[in-house]
Structure 1
Amino acid sequence: MGSTWRRLAAGVAASLFITALVSPVAAETRALLVGVWKFESPMLKDLAGPEHDLAAMETLVRAEGARDVTVLRNDQVSRTTVETAIHALGLRSKPGDWIVLYYSGHGAEADAAVRGTRDGDRDQFLPLARFDPADPERYIVDKDFYAWLSRYVPGSVKVLMMADACHSGTLNRSADARAFRFTPRLGFRAAQADFTLTARPAPRFAAVLGGSGGTTVDRADLPNLIYLAAARDEQLAWEFPMPVEGAPPRGLLTYNVEQGLTTRGPDGRSLAADLDGNGSVEVGELAQYVATQVRSFTADRQEPQAFIPPGGEGLKLFARVEAAAPPETAPLPAIFAADPAAQPMLAAAGAPWRVAARAEAADFVYDRTAGVLLRRSGDRVAQDVATTAQLRGVLEKWDTIDRLRPLLDETRVRLTLGPGAFGTRYVPGAQVDASVTAAAAAGSTTGASLYLTVFNLASDGTVQALYPSGQEGDGRIEPGARLPLIENRVTPPYGTDHVVALLTPQAPVALRAVLRAVEGQRASGRLVAPLKQAVVAAGAAGGLSVAELYTGR
């Protein structure tokens, strides 16, 4: 995403509901929720997710006590209606209030009218229904939002923004179209974006008392705005069917914000985004939770970035929605036979999968002739799969990863792979390095050691212990350490490996015993229970990070 739209309107505010630093009785939460999914334009593809995103966000803000809620859908959305709604919210707001601005739909970019500023040479904008670059009512540019917010919203009112949209991105590994299920919320790219937007009208209303009314070309970030960018600059924002059987497509950013504020975490008591388990969710916690979950959902294709004013990370969130328990068991994965040779194997009685009639409805696509298993992300997750036992091992490994996802917490530990760029597919024989950065928990005893445990789940589910080995003793490390752990070469089996790093304040004896017992076996599922026990016992002092490694010819 480009600089200003990234900073101003391509992300979620770190919370929809923040305990204001004034009397909670006086403060109110107000909301403007906007969604466009029917574009009625040959230039733009209709989307499926924004309709469901918008409904979910309205339910969430109203459940949290917001009564002043404006919702605009499809052809109700224009420059005038959005500007008018923001102006009206500014007039109704009092010091200490919060305004939630939310948009779900396409994002795009065009040449900037003024170049050479800190905003860059491209304008990021939202194309609306019946988009026409010659009609300013049919799109909203990042600079419009800046002008409206600075002019119409007093500085004493906090603004929380979420735009589940994006406009640019690259990938450095291929995706197989037979299994790629993500839909980019991207309006225009490359030659399609070679147009200039027409001149836009100036703000139509007088500045609200206390608003800065900023209109300069080079603009400082608004100090009363908190947000989390939907993705890094070079990435797309996606919508995708959620991991619940029969669930509709959703924007990944919106879905994970909702999950973080309405479902229970690993301890079964606190909210999923309450990473330290202290009974409240802070801005920084929700930002970390959403970034980790979206990255995991998209196979590292999308990673939200937080942009929070200095000192804002500790602002407390609250959620009055009763936290829901996650389902005890997930539905069996759906597999589609890409060729007739795969059908007899997939039809085996008692298999831990169900057969999909269409590739579009499948979690995995199996081409037995080529021996390749593809995941819905479009990635070739396993090669040379020829037997039922091999297929079971691959699917058990992915079930393990899905069950570990709610446990992820990268606040204290982050595992990274190299030397290739984010998401690189490594060819046979290539060198792969892994490193772990560990951080001490807030308030922990100075000099207190931590224990690091790292293992790999190969593409076929084979468990490989990595750290500690004989040279590292019990795996004790110092807080703040950045450790190079693996310098190895890519060998079979090829596909998608998952490297797992666990940080704990005490040695995870039970987990390490299981690791020793299943070393070299396709037994990834046996690690879930001891991992969960270790994560819950570690609390805020520990963490869990998983990195995907793509290998193959």
Structure 2
Amino acid sequence: MAKKTALCIGINNYPGTHMDLQGCVNDAQDWAAVLAARGYKTTLLLDDKATKAAMVDAMTKLIASGGKGDSLVITFSGHGTYQPDEDGDEVDGLDEALCPYDLQTSGSALTDDEIKAIFATRKGGARLLLIADSCHSGTVTRAAKADKDADTRPRFMPMGNWLPASRLPKNFAGKTAQTMVAPIGTSPLTGAFVKQVGDLLLAGCKEGPNNYSYDAKINGRYNGAFTYYALKALKTLKPEATCNDWYKAILKSLPSASYPQMPQLFGTSAAKTRKALT
């Protein structure tokens, strides 16, 4: 019998960075509740439990558990970032990365290269859905127009908030760069994503500079704007609705004047037409 397994990660607290968030733990708990109700055995990693080592371990175990016909889901709500590329495989010289709880204290993000290596161990026939409610790339230069009671902030962590000066990019004069072009590549999860049958990535925003997923306050409660509207849309779907139907339903709410982010759905046509969260 096919197994359903999920890992839901939510990080509000980023010690030492001065860039804490407020809706990510709620996101992870909300995703976990919905997935559990749909038959998924779900693991939660929240705040101080979501260290880099713990995220790597949990992702590795999840991927290893999946065989042919099994459904695997990973959700991540937290900061995204980028860092100087160290192995020369990035055209823009930057690796995209997810920010664990101990980002600043350990000085290490979870890069797209590392995630790709974990995903590469997956057995054939296992279906993987990645749900990313974090910023892909860019610098914090634009904020969303907020609703009356909203408290919005981009889920993006600038390098200067966690990397030591010795590791920051340098300009032509050899000094720490004050500004730099944002990555032209993909998000960390897109970079690790392989278009196999059954694989899907549902992301909160477009790739590239000035595209953000927003931490939001909606109806008095903190959530990611994308998570809130994705789960709201899911409730409206008929039992036979596909992932593509779900995505189209999300686009009825996003982008909006308050949350100008454009969700994305990546995957094969066959994957997009399978039932949502099956």
- What is the match of residue 38 of structure 2? 64
Give the corresponding residue for 2:199. 225
The whole-number CA distance in structure 1 between the counterparts of 2:13 and 2:78 is: 9
Q: 1:160 aligns with which of 119, 129, 149?
A: 129
Establish whether residue 240 from structure 1 lines up as the match of residue 199 from structure 2.
Answer: no
The answer to whether 1:31 aligns with 2:3 is no
- Greater length-normalized contact order (CA 8 Å, ≥ 6 residues apart): 2
Relative distance call for 1:133 and 1:75 in structure 2 (3 A) is: closer
Separation (CA, whole Å) in 1 of partners of 2:81 and 2:268? 26
**1:289 maps to which residue?**
249
Quote the Cα distance in structure 2 between the aligned partners of 1:100 and 1:85. Answer: 12
TM-score by length of 2: 0.78
Match of 2:97 in 1: 125
Give yes or no for contact 2:140–2:156 (8 Å, CA) kept in 1. Answer: no
1:6-39 per-residue CA deviation (whole Å, 9 max, x = no partner) reads xxxxxxxxxxxxxxxxxxxx22210111111111
Alignment partner of 1:183 is 2:153: yes
User: Match for residue 270 of structure 2?
Assistant: 311
Partner SS, residue 101 of structure 1 = strand
TM-score under structure 1 normalisation?
0.41
1:274-319: CA deviations, max 9, x gaps?
5xxxx521121212222342202635x2111221124322112268
> How far does residue 195 in structure 1 lie from its aligned partner after superposition?
6.2
Q: Which residue of 2 aligns with 1:78?
A: 51
Question: CA–CA distance in 2 between the matches of 1:227 and 1:286?
Answer: 13
1:165: how far off? 0.8
> How far apart, in 1, do the equivalents of 2:126 and 2:32 lie?
21
1:128 CA displacement: 2.1
Match 2:222 to one of 215, 239, 249: 249
Cα deviation digits, residues 227-276 of structure 1 (max 9, x gap): 1232123311102111x3xx3111011111211112x3xxxxxx2xx5xx
2: CA distance between counterparts of 1:76 and 1:128? Answer: 9
- Corresponding residue for residue 179 of structure 2: none
Q: CA deviation at 1:83?
A: 2.0
User: What is the aligned-residue RMSD (CA, Å)?
Assistant: 3.2
Q: 1:310 to 1:254 in 2, by over 3 A?
A: same
In the superposition, relative to structure 1, how do residues 316 and 230 fare at CA in structure 2: closer, same or farther (>3 Å)?
A: same
Partner-residue secondary structure (3-state), 2:62: helix
Q: Which consecutive unaligned segments of at least 5 residues does structure 1 have?
A: 1-25, 198-217, 265-270, 320-553
In 2, the alpha carbon distance for the partners of 1:195 and 1:291 equals 42
2:77 corresponds to which of 75, 98, 104: 104
Name the residue aligned to 2:119: 149
Distance 1:122 1:192, change over 3 A: same
1: CA distance between counterparts of 2:202 and 2:120? 19
Distance (whole Å) between structure 2 residues aligned to residue 307 and residue 40 of structure 1: 33
SS at match of 1:59: helix
Segments of structure 2 that go 5 or more residues without pairing to the other structure are 169-190
The share of aligned pairs that are identical, in percent, is: 19
* Letter paired with 1:149: F
Shift of 1:159: 1.1
Q: Where is the strand percentage greater, Structure 1 or Structure 2? A: 1
1:280 aligns with 2:255: no
CA offset digits 1:163-185 (Å, max 9, x no partner): 21114267789969x98732111
